Amino acid sequence: MKNLNNILLIGGFITLLSIVSCTKSFLDQKPYTSISKEDALKTAADVKTALNGAYANLRNGELRGAAVPILGDLLADNIYLSTVNIGLFNGENAYSITTDGAYSNRVWFFAYANALQVNNIIDAPLNQGSEVMQYKGEAYAIRALLYFDLVRFFGKPYTLAPNTLGVPIVLHYDPAALPKRNTVTEVYTQILSDLDQAISLMSQYNGSARFSKYAAIALRAKVNLYKGDYQKAYDDAKNVLANSGFTPVNRADLAAYWAAAIPHDQSNKVETLFELASDAFNNASDELATHFVQADNSEGEMLTTKSLFDAYTTADVRKSLIIKGVRNRVGGEDPAYIVNKYPVVVGDFNEKKVIRLAEVQLIAAEAAYRLNKESEALTWLNTLMAQRDPSLIYASAGVSLLADIVNERRKELAFEGDRFFDLNRLNQNINRTEEYPSGIIEAGDYRRVMPMPLGEINVNPNIVQNPNYQ
């Protein structure tokens, strides 16, 4: 893909250029994002440095650092854009999404740039030693995550339209290539192949600051849930819950877990299977938090919908992650329901959670339900409730049980970027309340799939636009 390839590797660079990375180096700190092809990937240390660059760019604000979690909730019914805002997400808030102005365009370009970066790690000629294999396994897992995000934004759900167009699969650098879009099925096949490779290669790390074997298994469970392969999702979720060594965060510690009052060492094996960690040289301020926190050094333009706030009972500890207050800008909302899940703007101790144990419990619950194991599904659901809201004990059955599981996914994963994709795979309407200008977005609405970026179409005639976009 010529446009995508030109973002990366121009002049022999195998990592992102400054237009992609927000990281900065200090004095003699070798930056993660400037390794030339001539110098790189000769030793395990080189591969590790390149991998650090891949993680640094994955947590960029145009990917998992802000755009993915924001769009995943803004396009649904969890958050909305304040009337006093900086103008970045107006189109998505109003569902007035254009091919040249969609914020998802940034996700497209930065995700492909990051994927090309990990491709070079995977293709590196070093193939010996457990350390190198661990790093390559992590690169496979990162690529799987990137394509999972891409196909969910730009393709229809696998469970509804597996043979429709997804996104191009680009596994090797070729500046002359003009690839076509692969089908949704083909993209999911590649994602699962990458995760299988990752799981087979990783053995040296079991913390949460990077991908580990069990983090990759958890992600594979999620991919199979979205694919509708519920037996595999169930098996992987049960494996993680039984064997990963990670324990759920308890009710008393949940607020502190999100506040991250002390820097994580990513080795305590509580709740977080994989998060994008920051360090002294990278992400000194939190781009995600700036969109939520009401402070002078923050924009705070993303607010919680009242419908989400009201979904929590007063006994639910997760309700403390939303504050009923006032938008701290002239003309702002009063009352305003303020996201408090990422409270630290400076210092960036808000590590970006990618997959957590609570989500694996919910995957186990939904997969068990789909496999006609309703009693077990209830057990997993109520296990989570004991950790979050002991006043609520579910006893539902049939479609009501599925609705309860989906509702708990909404509440547990709020502000982490999953709600839009859940509603898409479930083929449900998005009931956008009075806070939004656009009302109900029906399940079949063409805007439930993001447009191909106009800039990509202009340089690659093989890219077919999604239906109804001009």
The verdict on residue 466 lying in a domain is no
Domain count, the chain: 1
- Non-local (6+) Cβ contacts of 61 within 8 A are 22, 67, 287, 288
8 A C-beta contact, residue 178 and residue 462: yes
Residue 11's pLDDT is 27
Range of the domain at 340: 2-23+35-459
Residue 279's pLDDT is 54
How far is 158 from 143, CA to CA, in rounded Å? 19
Residue 115's pLDDT is 97
The verdict on residue 464 lying in a domain is no
The verdict on residue 270 lying in a domain is yes
Start-to-end CA distance of the chain, whole Å, equals 21
How far is 292 from 374, CA to CA, in rounded Å? 37
Residue 439's pLDDT is 87
Decide: helix, strand or coil at residue 447.
Answer: helix
The verdict on residue 272 lying in a domain is yes
The verdict on residue 147 lying in a domain is yes
Residue 24's pLDDT is 32
How far is 105 from 150, CA to CA, in rounded Å? 10
Smallest CA-to-CA distance from 76 within 409, 319, 360, 354 is with 409
Residue 436's pLDDT is 86
Residue 343's pLDDT is 85
Q: Which two tokens stand for residue 147?
A: 């394509």
The verdict on residue 323 lying in a domain is yes
Q: Which two tokens stand for residue 332?
A: 């702002």
Give ∠ CA 224-229-232 in degrees, rounded to 5.
70
Per-residue confidence in pLDDT tens, the chain, 470 aa: 555 555 433 223 333 333 333 333 222 334 444 455 546 788 999 999 999 999 999 999 999 999 999 999 999 999 999 988 888 999 999 999 999 989 999 999 999 999 999 999 999 988 789 999 999 999 999 999 999 999 999 999 999 999 999 999 999 988 889 999 999 999 999 999 999 999 999 998 989 999 999 999 999 999 999 999 999 999 999 999 999 999 999 999 999 999 875 445 556 789 999 999 765 445 444 588 888 888 766 788 999 999 999 999 999 999 999 999 988 887 778 899 999 999 876 655 568 899 999 999 999 999 999 999 999 999 999 999 999 999 999 999 999 999 999 999 999 999 999 999 999 999 999 999 878 887 899 999 999 999 999 999 999 999 999 999 98
How far is 173 from 171, CA to CA, in rounded Å? 7
Decide: helix, strand or coil at residue 353.
Answer: strand
How far is 278 from 286, CA to CA, in rounded Å? 9
8 A C-beta contact, residue 158 and residue 52: no
8 A C-beta contact, residue 154 and residue 104: yes
Burial 160-180 (b: 16+ CB within 10 A, else e): bebebbbbbbbeebeeeeebe
What is the CATH number for 105? 1.25.40.390
Residue 1's pLDDT is 52
Burial 370-404 (b: 16+ CB within 10 A, else e): beebbebbbebbbebbebbbeebebeeeeeebbeb
Q: Which two tokens stand for residue 385?
A: 């409730």
The predicted model scores a pTM of 0.92
What's the burial of 362, exposed, middle or buried (CB within 10 Å: 0-12/13-18/19+)? buried
The verdict on residue 247 lying in a domain is yes
